[in-house]
């Protein structure tokens, strides 16, 4: 399903088609060096997953963090990159404190969450939790490029990127920088209000040539803790129906689960601290689907 981007001619990975060997016409020395650094890093990463959503609040960052943790627990080498520049939640969700960034020469070391997972976020660079980032598009693009080029990710099986909601500067930049080598996971809640924004997200992916790994329906039903009955708080099945309508894979449903909120707030991995919870089981299923590369049909 995802492309392994190791090309067969690269200065860095001994392959034959990597574009970083030659300077392009009109490209400055500095731009060439930047592109080489980007290529060098990206060719060491087998799969890039961009986690997108049409709307805020649908659980995109929660999904990105838990997918990254679940992949790392499945033995994969994982990087988690937070480019939600105006609302970075990955440091909190992964329990990693700010101020831990280390530099090696001009490059940044990502922060380790466990043996297989390291993260990088703009949140690590803010002076405090209340500091807003007031940047326009070109500055954001520059930072995203640095996160991809100047962070020592090393060889990875997966780079999971948490992008801000919508189809603005940051998703545009990341799509441009990692391009068609990346696959998008689009997170939605089931109700129509969220679904209509997902249509835009799907069209965005098509326009910027991002392949769609699948739509993931989050907050899909709640199990009553007293009687066990399923309550469809935000309806159910909207993401699945949309995947069918738009002809893209459906990755599964994550139920509403108080454990998700508790572990997210505490910065403790759901799959470690609540592995028996309904949401943890659902995340594990989604990760199995992603690893196996099986497409899940949009059929209910």
Residues near ligand ADP (CB under 6 A): 53, 56-62, 89, 218-219, 254, 256-257, 260-261, 264, 279
Distance CA 38, CA 7 (A): 14
Angle at Cα 232 formed by Cα 226 and Cα 236, nearest 5°?
145
Locate 218 and state its tokens: 């989050």
Distance CA 278, CA 41 (A): 36
CA–chain centroid gap for 97, Å, is: 20
In terms of CB distance, is 69 or 256 closer to ligand ADP?
Answer: 256
User: Nearest approach, Cβ of 187 to ligand ADP (angstroms)?
Assistant: 7
User: Nearest approach, Cβ of 253 to ligand ADP (angstroms)?
Assistant: 9
Locate 100 and state its tokens: 């831990």
Would you put residue 172 in left (φ > 0), alpha (ψ -120 to 50) or beta?
A: alpha
In terms of CB distance, is 5 or 61 closer to ligand ADP?
Answer: 61
Distance CA 69, CA 61 (A): 12
The three-class DSSP label of residue 80 is strand
User: Nearest approach, Cβ of 219 to ligand ADP (angstroms)?
Assistant: 5
In terms of CB distance, is 42 or 282 closer to ligand ADP?
Answer: 282
CA–chain centroid gap for 202, Å, is: 16
For residues 143 and 33, the answer to whether their CB atoms sit within 8 Å is no
In terms of CB distance, is 1 or 261 closer to ligand ADP?
Answer: 261
Q: How many CA atoms lie within 13 A of 181 on its CB side?
A: 20
In terms of CB distance, is 76 or 92 closer to ligand ADP?
Answer: 92
Closest residue by beta carbon to ligand ADP: 59
User: Nearest approach, Cβ of 62 to ligand ADP (angstroms)?
Assistant: 3
User: Nearest approach, Cβ of 19 to ligand ADP (angstroms)?
Assistant: 33
User: Nearest approach, Cβ of 42 to ligand ADP (angstroms)?
Assistant: 25
User: Nearest approach, Cβ of 36 to ligand ADP (angstroms)?
Assistant: 33
Burial profile 77-103: b = 16 or more Cβ within 10 angstroms, e = fewer? bbbbbbbbbeebbbbbbbebebeeeee
The closest of 158, 154, 153 to 185, measured between CA atoms, is 158
User: Nearest approach, Cβ of 137 to ligand ADP (angstroms)?
Assistant: 21
Distance CA 276, CA 24 (A): 53
């Amino acid at each position: 399903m995802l492309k392994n981007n190791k090309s067969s001619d690269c200065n860095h990975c001994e392959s034959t088609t990597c574009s970083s060997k030659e300077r392009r016409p009109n490209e400055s020395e500095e731009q060439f060096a930047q592109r080489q650094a980007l290529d060098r890093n990206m060719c060491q990463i087998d799969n890039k997953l961009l986690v997108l959503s049409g709307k805020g609040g649908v659980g995109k960052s929660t999904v990105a963090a838990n997918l990254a943790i679940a992949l790392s627990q499945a033995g994969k080498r994982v990087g988690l990159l937070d480019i939600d520049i105006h609302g970075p939640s990955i440091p909190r969700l992964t329990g990693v404190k700010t101020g831990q960034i280390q530099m090696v020469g001009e490059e940044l070391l990502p922060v380790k969450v466990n043996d297989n997972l390291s993260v990088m976020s703009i949140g690590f660079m803010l002076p405090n939790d209340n500091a807003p980032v007031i940047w326009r598009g070109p500055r954001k693009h520059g930072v995203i490029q640095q996160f991809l080029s100047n962070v020592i990710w090393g060889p990875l099986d997966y780079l999971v990127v948490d992008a801000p909601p919508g189809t603005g500067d940051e998703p545009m930049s990341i799509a441009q920088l990692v391009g068609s080598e990346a696959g998008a996971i689009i997170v939605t809640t089931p109700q129509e209000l969220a679904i209509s924004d997902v249509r835009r997200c799907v069209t965005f992916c098509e326009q910027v040539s991002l392949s769609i790994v699948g739509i993931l329906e989050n907050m899909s039903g709640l199990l009553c803790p007293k009687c066990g009955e399923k309550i469809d708080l935000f309806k159910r099945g909207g993401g699945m129906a949309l995947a069918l309508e738009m002809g893209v894979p459906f990755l599964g449903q994550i139920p509403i689960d108080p454990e998700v909120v508790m572990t997210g707030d505490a910065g403790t991995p759901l799959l470690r601290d609540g592995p028996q919870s309904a949401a943890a089981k659902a995340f594990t299923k989604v990760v199995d689907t992603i690893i196996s590369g099986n497409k899940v049909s949009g059929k209910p």
